[in-house]
Amino acid sequence: SGWADAWDGDAGRQMKAGFVAGCESSAGGVVDCDCVFAELTSEAPYDTPEGFATLQDPVRRANETGDVSQIPAAYVSAVQRCLAGA
């Protein structure tokens, strides 16, 4: 139950809500954003709010520059596993 405890606090809930909202505004309809969050947070190091936070910078940089090579592989595979209608 470490996972549930880690995400049960205010910071964890806000981080999940922020991720899902950002995902839906940029990729809603293409991917299931709740699924992406669940996939990412099922494995270390992203299974805690602190670890998950390490994804923010590379993903933001990729969005700004269009250089998706900076996105961690775990993020890419989570998105691929959660394509809407897949």
Q: Is the model's pLDDT at 4 over the cut of 90?
A: no
Q: Is the model's pLDDT at 86 over the cut of 80?
A: no
Residues making up the chain, counted from first to last: 86
pLDDT of 3 reads: 56
> How many whole angstroms separate alpha carbon 74 and alpha carbon 43?
9
CA angle 68/74/76 to nearest 5° reads 40
> Tens digits of per-residue pLDDT, 19-35?
999 889 888 789 999 99
SS3 for 73? helix
**Which residues have C-beta within 8 Å of that of residue 7, sequence separation ≥ 6?**
13, 16, 41, 49
> Tens digits of per-residue pLDDT, 46-85?
999 999 999 989 988 988 898 988 899 999 999 999 997 7
> Tens digits of per-residue pLDDT, 33-46?
999 999 999 999 99
Cβ pair 39, 78 in contact under 8 A: yes
pLDDT of 28 reads: 72
Cβ pair 62, 68 in contact under 8 A: yes
